[in-house]
Structure 1
């Protein structure tokens, strides 16, 4: 009988610890999914610029809590909500850049993304429009 009680107590302790760790795990996964989606959306903007032979802009707006991909010809192409705990900090890229019809970025530089898991850096290289998101 006492063995059963010990097993039950251990099980309850482990489940209580697991429930306390779940919100942090969930927030971390949400941040990771957002950064992955951001990476895919920037790649989409680059491919859209090439396929439609036009300038495609990426603009982040912390005030409204969205980032937008748009063209002056077709206006809004894509708009996504930025989670409340994620902030874009302007770096050398500023708040916006664009891809031309060859897929090249308008300027090279960085933009910092502040999340609950730490800071990440969006890096746009000079040349063929290569970019990456890396942890600082």
Structure 2
């Protein structure tokens, strides 16, 4: 009598193989997830700095971005002290001044930067360089 079915041993082997392949692929997902989080943070930071520049131009008012490592946040503030944006960042992120201090990212009423310089952004073991250029408020963030 042939039932044309699978034995319990065959089914167990197939499930073991599927479980092994699945566990290997989930192990690699953590690094992909972490990289995605870092990229998202850098993109959000770039958008927020552009927002600060746009607010300086549109309101003809001095606007600054202040990085607070102690409270793990950065704040965009206009010259009158009005807080436009407050954004938190993770515990594993730090802003390190090089030639630009943590409260030197500022835009004049015409959108130009107050001072040029460089700052380092550290996220876990990854480092980025934030460079603020003179004239027209140009800046870039590059991975080191």
TM alignment of 1:10-49, pairs within 5 A = 10-49=17-56
**Higher mean displacement: 84-93 or 51-60:** 84-93
TM-score after normalising by structure 1: 0.91
- CA deviation map 1:23-72 (0-9, x unaligned): 32222211111111000000000011000000001100000110000013
Does the 8 A contact of 2:64 with 2:77 survive in 1?
A: yes
Q: How many Å separate the matches in 2 of 1:3 and 1:103?
A: 70
Q: How many Å separate the matches in 1 of 2:10 and 2:114?
A: 69
Q: Deviation of residue 9 (structure 1)?
A: 2.8
Q: How many Å separate the matches in 2 of 1:85 and 1:62?
A: 10
Gaps of 5+ in 1: none
Aligned residue pairs: how many?
Answer: 136
Q: Deviation of residue 135 (structure 1)?
A: 0.5
Q: How many Å separate the matches in 2 of 1:79 and 1:44?
A: 12
Does the 8 A contact of 2:61 with 2:79 survive in 1?
A: no
Q: How many Å separate the matches in 2 of 1:65 and 1:74?
A: 20
Bigger-Rg structure (1/2)? 2
Q: Deviation of residue 6 (structure 1)?
A: 4.6
Paired residue for 1:133? 141
Paired residue for 1:77? 84
What RMSD in Å do the two structures reach over aligned CA positions? 1.6
Gaps of 5+ in 2: 1-5
Paired residue for 2:129? 121
Q: How many Å separate the matches in 2 of 1:102 and 1:108?
A: 15
TM-score after normalising by structure 2: 0.86
Higher RCO, 1 vs 2 (CA within 8 Å, ≥6 residues apart): 1
